[in-house]
Structure 1
Amino acid sequence: MKILTPLIRWGSYPLIFGVCTGMQLAILWLHLPYWPLAPIIAALGLTAVALLERLQPYETLWLNDHHDTNVDILHALTSLTLIFTSIEIATVILKFMPVSAIWPTDWPIGVQVLTAGFIIDFGLWFMHWLSHKNDLLWRLHALHHSAERLYWLNGERRHPLSAVVLAAPGISVVVLLGAPPEIIGCWLSIITVHLAFQHANLDYSVGSFRRLLGVAEVHRWHHKREYEDAQVNFGEFWMIWDHVFGTYRYQKNGVRAGEVGMKESMPITYLAQIKWPFFRRV
């Protein structure tokens, strides 16, 4: 067990995320079917993170159900459905809308995916930041911050409308630039596993790369219970934008159990949470 501890701490992210990313790219390189391979690969990555949490948790208390597991499963099913049907949505849009022909389709596939991811990630960062500044958008986004613990399912704990608001601008730009739907789908499949790591109750680290990547030891600060303390680390994948706009924060004494969530109460049932933004008491 002592041997496993450093292996999990330092090897879990590069190994699991790296393998899943390589397999998603292989789908493009080998012209394999996106369905069902991309969702299966992502599911394997999510399962690995969930199992490692049980083996080496960051917070033992976060392993316990907080009356949230069942509802988080429903949120995850909704969010993942949106993610993995995005390639179909992009395909339909490309058929009926005039798009630019400037997308560099002659570039290596990996570079195209990174380029699409760079654009999408900035759109996510900006809309995420805006969701903390605009009251209407915050009402939709607050569900994500209402979790009383952080674990692998939190990455998909989002109001469906908030998910659309966050992702639509960046994805729309990439679509209008003429990016092939499979390139967009590949990036979104890759980011699914990253989001599980970003919210994982797993004692892992990427060392100095935390300044570049939005991993758990950085992202936990964004989930601080005190709203004024949570206005940091908006990055979904890269932390570049937080450095540029001065919203990056990291301290060694990380966020612990009892320090995440919201001061405002949130219903515990799925439908009540979906309706909450529209009937919230001001």
Structure 2
Amino acid sequence: MERLFQLGVYPLIMLSASGVLIYGIQSGFNQYLIVLPVISFFGMLILLLERWMPYEIDWVKGKNDWNLDLTYYIINYGIKLVAQFLFLWIAGTFTLAAWFPTHLPFWVQVLIALTIIDFFLFFVHWQSHQNEFLWKLHAIHHSSERLYFLNGEKRHALHQILEGTPGIFICLLIGTPQPVVVTALAILGINMFMQHTNLNYKAGILKKFFCVAELHRWHHRADYRDAQVNYGAWLTIWDHIFATAYDHPGMQQQLGPIGIAEERNFPNSYWKQFLYPFSKKVRQKAKTLFDQDVNID
């Protein structure tokens, strides 16, 4: 029964959340009266499940990070809301292309928009491990020393904008309806919960196609060189195309510490982390990877 639960919980959560979001928004209900309750419900459900069947018991206790991660979530969700309202304003003000296949079923449109957004999330994420300044922004996400559902959205506000803007902008340019983008972002948000959760689930064959916790935990290994794999947010196809996919039977037992090994003194307040990419003094206190002349190639 436990094995059945482990294999079934990921598709059950993703299909049920996606189904409610797609049906509700397609039916014309207020987007945010659908999205906010669905995200809140599934967030709390995943929180309870990961306490009941944790991958790592030590992560359940927390590391005095709940308030910080919740702050990140609220601020970054606010950035998403601003982006959605800007999307509506631009689409209503300017004449844009009408290339998006709006004649297709709503759920197919959502999958198309989600795939577009997902590619650019992957690409910016991948480049954030190659470029020094982008890494300084992205390091905030890697600074967590435990993984659980909430810290999937832990990222610098500027990095949030840099990651999300390209895909959403392309959707805007080709004439994607705003409700389609809202639905796609909400589904992606649920997958981010499941990608970072401390719930000990198994994705089985689905991990060949979707970016699940079994794969993504390895990306958070404290050893920087080991973490240069599994960048995807939703689909694994981009990692396979760009040869950054990694899946090994020993991953489950060999995870080890997560975080940033070179920066165990990483600042633990929102504002110090906000200043981290721009302040050499803050980075020196954290023993910055790049300031120690470590080769990132």
The bucket for the TM-score relative to the shorter chain is over 0.9
Structure 1 Cα separation of the partners of residues 61 and 251 of structure 2: 20
2:221/2:255 contact within 8 Å kept:
no
Does structure 1 residue 242 correspond to structure 2 residue 242? no
The 1-side partners of 2:211 and 2:236 are apart by: 6
How far has the Cα of 1:8 moved from its partner?
Answer: 3.1
> Is contact 2:136–2:277 with CA below 8 Å preserved after alignment?
yes
The alpha-carbon deviation at position 94 of structure 1 amounts to: 1.2
**2:270 counterpart of 1:273:** no
Give the whole-Å Cα distance in 1 for the aligned partners of 2:250 and 2:132: 31
- Look up the SS of the partner of 2:176 in the other structure: coil
| Matching residue's letter, 1:273 | Q
From 208, 217, 234, the equivalent of 2:214 is 217
C-alpha deviation, 1:97, in angstroms: 3.5
Residue 80 of structure 1: how far off its partner (Å): 2.0
Change in CA separation of 1:239 and 1:257 when aligned onto 2, cut-off 3 Å: closer
8 Å contact from structure 1 (residues 224, 259) kept in 2? yes
**Structure-2 residue corresponding to 1:78:** 75
Instruction: State the distance in 1 between where 2:130 and 2:244 align.
Output: 13
- Aligned identity (percent) is 37
Query: What is the CA distance between 1:95 and its match in structure 2?
Result: 2.5
CA contact (8 A) 1:123 1:169 kept: yes
- Take 1:190 and 1:213, find their aligned partners in 2: how far apart are those partners? 13
* Counterpart mapping for 1:107-256 below 5 A: 107-254=104-251
Equivalent-residue separation in structure 2 for 1:8 and 1:195 (angstroms): 20
Paired residue secondary structure (2:103): coil
Query: Could you list the runs of 5+ residues in structure 1 that have no partner in the other structure?
Result: none
2:98 to 78, 96, 101: 101
Residue 67 (structure 1) aligned with residue 64 (structure 2): yes
Note if contact 1:84-1:189 (Cα within 8 Å) is conserved in structure 2: no
Aligned mates of 1:45, 1:84 — CA distance in 2? 19
**Are the equivalent residues in 1 in contact too, given 2:122–2:233 (CA < 8 A)?**
yes
Give yes or no for contact 1:75–1:156 (8 Å, CA) kept in 2. yes
How far, CA to CA, are the matches of 1:232 and 1:185 in structure 2? Answer: 28
Higher mean C-alpha displacement, 125-134 vs 79-88: 79-88
Aligned to 1:261: 259
Counterpart amino acid of residue 165 in structure 1: L
C-alpha distance in 2 between matches for 1:65 and 1:111: 39
TM-score by length of 1: 0.95
Segment drifting more, 177-186 vs 33-42:
33-42
Q: CA deviation at 1:79?
A: 1.7
Q: Which residue of 1 aligns with 2:31?
A: 34
Structure 1 residue 85: deviation in Å?
Answer: 4.1
Distance in 2 between the 1:76 and 1:149 partners?
16
Please tell me whether the aligned partners of residues 113 and 183 of structure 1 are also in contact (alpha carbons under 8 angstroms): yes
**What's the CA shift for 1:102?**
1.3
1:229 aligned counterpart, secondary structure: coil
- The answer (yes or no) to whether the contact 2:202–2:214 under 8 Å persists in 1 is yes
Equivalent pairs counted in the alignment come to 279
Is 1:104–1:112's contact at 8 Å kept on the other side of the alignment?
A: yes
Deviation digits for residues 117-175 of structure 1, max 9, x if unmatched?
11111111111111111111111110000110111111111111111111111111011
Contact 1:116 1:179 in 2 (8 A): yes
Q: Which moved more, 1:155-164 or 1:85-94?
A: 85-94
Superposed displacement of residue 201, structure 1? 0.4
Cα distance between partner residues in 2 of 1:104 and 1:159: 34
Shift of 1:44: 0.8
1:254 aligned counterpart, secondary structure: helix
TM-score by length of 2: 0.90
1:274: Cα distance to partner?
1.1
Contact 1:141/1:158, CA 8 A, preserved across alignment: yes
Contact kept, 8 Å, 2:149 with 2:197, in 1: the verdict is yes
**How large is the RMSD of aligned CA atoms in angstroms?**
1.4
